[in-house]
Structure 1
Amino acid sequence: MTRTALDYDDNWLDPDELAHMRRRLPLTYVHGLPVQRGDDGEVDRVGLLLRTLDTGALGREIVGGRVKFHESIRTALLRHAEKDLGTLALPTAPLSLTPFHVAEYFPTEGVSPYHDPRQHAVALCYILPVIGDCSPGGDALSLDWLTPHEAVSPEITGEMRHGQQHIVRAGLAHLGILP
Structure 2
Amino acid sequence: MTEMTDTTPGWLSPEDLRSARDRMPILYIDAVPVRVDDRGVVTRVGLLLRIGSDGMVSRALVSGRVLYHERVRDALLRHLEKDLGPTALPNVPPSPQPFTIAEYFPTPGVTPYHDPRQHAVSLAYLVPVSGDCRPRQDALDLVWFTPEEAVSPAVQLEMTGGQGTLLKQALAYAGCLF
Q: Shared topology, TM-score over 0.5? A: yes
Instruction: Provide the TM-score with structure 2 as the length reference.
Output: 0.94
| Cα distance in 2 for residues equivalent to 1:94 and 1:66 | 20
Deviations 1:115-151 (A, max 9, x none): 0000000000011110000010110000010000000
- Report the Cα offset of residue 95 of structure 1: 4.4
Deviations 1:5-33 (A, max 9, x none): 11214xx2111111111111000001111
Deviations 1:31-84 (A, max 9, x none): 111000135542100000000012211001101100000000000000000000
| Cα distance in 2 for residues equivalent to 1:97 and 1:43 | 18
Within-5 A mapping of 1:151-166? 151-166=150-165
Deviating beyond 3 angstroms after TM superposition, the runs of 4 or more aligned structure 1 residues are: 94-97
Instruction: Tell whether 2:123 aligns with 1:124.
Output: yes
| Cα distance in 2 for residues equivalent to 1:103 and 1:41 | 25
Partner of 2:97: 98
Partner of 1:146: 145
Instruction: Provide the TM-score with structure 1 as the length reference.
Output: 0.93
Segments of structure 2 that go 5 or more residues without pairing to the other structure are none
Partner of 1:137: 136
Is the Cα contact below 8 Å between 1:47 and 1:143 reproduced in 2?
Answer: yes
| Cα distance in 1 for residues equivalent to 2:32 and 2:84 | 11
Instruction: Tell whether 2:10 aligns with 1:20.
Output: no
Partner of 2:9: 8
Partner SS, residue 97 of structure 2: coil
| Cα distance in 1 for residues equivalent to 2:123 and 2:139 | 21
- Residue type of the alignment partner of 1:33: V
Is the Cα contact below 8 Å between 2:46 and 2:144 reproduced in 1?
Answer: yes
Partner SS, residue 60 of structure 1: strand
Is the Cα contact below 8 Å between 2:106 and 2:119 reproduced in 1?
Answer: yes
| Cα distance in 2 for residues equivalent to 1:161 and 1:170 | 15
| Cα distance in 1 for residues equivalent to 2:93 and 2:47 | 19
Is the Cα contact below 8 Å between 2:73 and 2:95 reproduced in 1?
Answer: no
Aligned residues: percent identity? 53
Is the Cα contact below 8 Å between 1:94 and 1:126 reproduced in 2?
Answer: no
